[in-house]
Amino acid sequence: MGPWETLGNPCVGGNKVFRSTTFFAQGTYVVPLPGVHGAFMFMADRWNPADLRDSRYLWLPLVVGGTADKPLESSFGFPMWSRVSVYWHRQWRLPSGGGKDIT
């Protein structure tokens, strides 16, 4: 599919332990935010092994930064970007659209 490069940890904010453990969660899904170019919602699950009924979901803003490069060398046609960032927030609101910054 082309040359690979290490982009580093996409997690931004919180402390070092939060960032190194993807905010104590495992990524589950990414949903595009309509009307906000390059913005997505990162969904993850956070297990509580002591009480599985108390396991939670984590929904955080994910931003794709940089300009789109050439398409991948495959039929997928996805563009490649220079940086992906997932931002830690205790609380945040979905943007109302119109290109507003979600970070």
3-state helix/strand/coil string of the chain: CCCCCCCCCCEECCCHHHHHCCCCCEEEEEEECCCCCCEEEEEEEECCCCCHHHCEEEEEEEEEECCCCCECCCCCCCECCCEEEEECCCCCCCCCCCCCCCC
pLDDT at res. 68: 43
The string of pLDDT tens digits covering residues 61-102 is 998 875 444 444 444 444 555 578 889 988 888 876 554 555
Q: What's the confidence (pLDDT) of residue 38?
A: 76
Residue 76 has what pLDDT?
47
Q: Give tens-digit pLDDT for 17-71.
A: 988 999 999 999 999 988 777 789 999 999 999 999 999 999 999 988 754 444 4
Q: Please give the pLDDT value at position 71.
A: 42
